[in-house]
Structure 1
Amino acid sequence: MTDPDTLARQRYYTMMAVEIAGVAGAVFGLYIIGRSVDVLPRVIGAGIVLSALLMIAVVPKSMARRWRTPPE
């Protein structure tokens, strides 16, 4: 059985990794927008940025809600 502190630390690191991946996705989308000349790549870049920002805002909170300790 794993130690509760170790499990909490692993879950925290997982949530932070999701946030870092979202930031990396947003930066990638901004890079695509900045380097493109045509409209279609800019639209794709904007979609990547918006989905990454949504991921940053929603996924860690839902993970924390799912992993919350049940009331006794």
Structure 2
Amino acid sequence: MSEDTQARNRWFAIVATRLAATAGAVLGLLLLARATDWPTKVLGVAIVLAALYMMAVVPRALAHRWRSR
């Protein structure tokens, strides 16, 4: 595998991680908006917070791990 192909695949992995986190945040917001009882609202908030954490930390960790020397 050439360096260009490997870099492209890594970039796609980082973008896919960001998209998955965004989808999770939207799912959590939908759950939070449609919830009628408080345990479901707590679950929605937890999903949103986990997705925001994933959006902030995981792509940066992948970029750090794959940084060329």
TM-align CA RMSD: 0.3
Per-residue displacement from partner, 1:17-51 (whole Å, max 9, x unpaired)?
A: 00000000000000000111100000000000000
- Equivalent-residue separation in structure 1 for 2:45 and 2:35 (angstroms): 11
Structure 1, gaps ≥5 residues long: none
- Is residue 38 of structure 1 aligned with residue 37 of structure 2? yes
Q: Which structure 1 residue ranges, 4+ long, deviate > 2 Å from structure 2?
A: none
Identity of aligned residues (%): 45
Number of corresponding residues:
69
Per-residue displacement from partner, 1:41-66 (whole Å, max 9, x unpaired)?
A: 00000000000000000000000000
TM superposition score normalised by structure 2 = 0.99
TM superposition score normalised by structure 1 = 0.95
Determine which structure has more spread, i.e. the larger CA radius of gyration.
1
Aligned partner of 1:62 in structure 2 is 61
- Equivalent-residue separation in structure 1 for 2:53 and 2:35 (angstroms): 23
